[in-house]
Amino acid sequence: MRILILAALLLALFAAGAIAAAIAIRVAPSDPMRWHADPTNVPGTGKSNDFRTIPEGFDAPDEDMVSPVFIASAAELAGAFDAMARAQPRTERVAGEPAEFWMTYVQRSRVFQFPDYISVWVVDLGDGRSSLAVYSRARYGWSDFGVNAARVRAWLDALPLPHARDP
């Protein structure tokens, strides 16, 4: 009987700790300017919880992918990206504006509301072409199980603008 009571108390303490941690993550203050970073030169996390895509020809730390080139002005691409990103579930813009060509978003995970920050810089390539530098990273943890990479790829695919390599 004592073992059952002790086990129940330990389970209750564990559950209370998990609930407290979840609440702390959801209400933890966030300084947008800490996360509003130039995706081409902000240092990587050094963990497997981030993903960076950079336009061809740019030198950036920890580049994971070369960004596509879009047949659109930088203003068109910035507006399209902002509209698409803000339409994603649990996502809001926390810094920057499309008119500045530099924005940062936070997207929270469905269950535990872990925040991931996504910084975007729209690059004008001239001749009606533009590209993006995107750096998506988790605020907490060591690994994100590929969530940031999948997000960046999905968001790039969701943009309603033609790529320069499209026929």
- Which helix (H) or strand (E) covers residue 94, if one does? strand 91-97
The string of pLDDT tens digits covering residues 67-124 is 999 999 999 999 999 999 999 999 999 999 999 999 999 999 888 888 999 999 999 9
If one compares 32 and 36, the residue with the highest pLDDT of the two is 36
User: What are the residue ranges spanned by the domains of the chain?
Assistant: 1-30, 32-158
Q: Any idea which fold 32-158 has?
A: TATA-Binding Protein (3.30.310)
Average pLDDT over residues 59-71: 86
pLDDT at 35 over 90: no
Examine the pLDDT at 141 and tell me if it is beyond 80: no
| C-alpha pair distances (Å), 43 with each of 79, 83, 89, 106, 114 | 27, 27, 27, 18, 21
pLDDT band at 167 (very low <50, low <70, confident <90, very high): very low
* pLDDT of 166: 45
Q: Which residue has the higher pLDDT, 8 or 65?
A: 65
Select, from the ranges 12-26, 27-41, 107-121, the one with the highest average predicted confidence (pLDDT): 107-121
> Which burial class, exposed, middle or buried, applies to 50 when counting CB atoms under 10 A from its CB (0-12, 13-18, 19+)?
buried
Confidence (pLDDT) at 21: 57
Residues 6+ apart with CB under 8 A from 64: 51, 52, 53, 149
What pLDDT does residue 143 have?
Answer: 78
Higher pLDDT, 95 or 1: 95
pTM: 0.84
What are the pLDDT digits (tens) for 151-166? 999 999 999 888 776 4
More confident residue, 122 or 61: 122
Average pLDDT over residues 123-129: 95
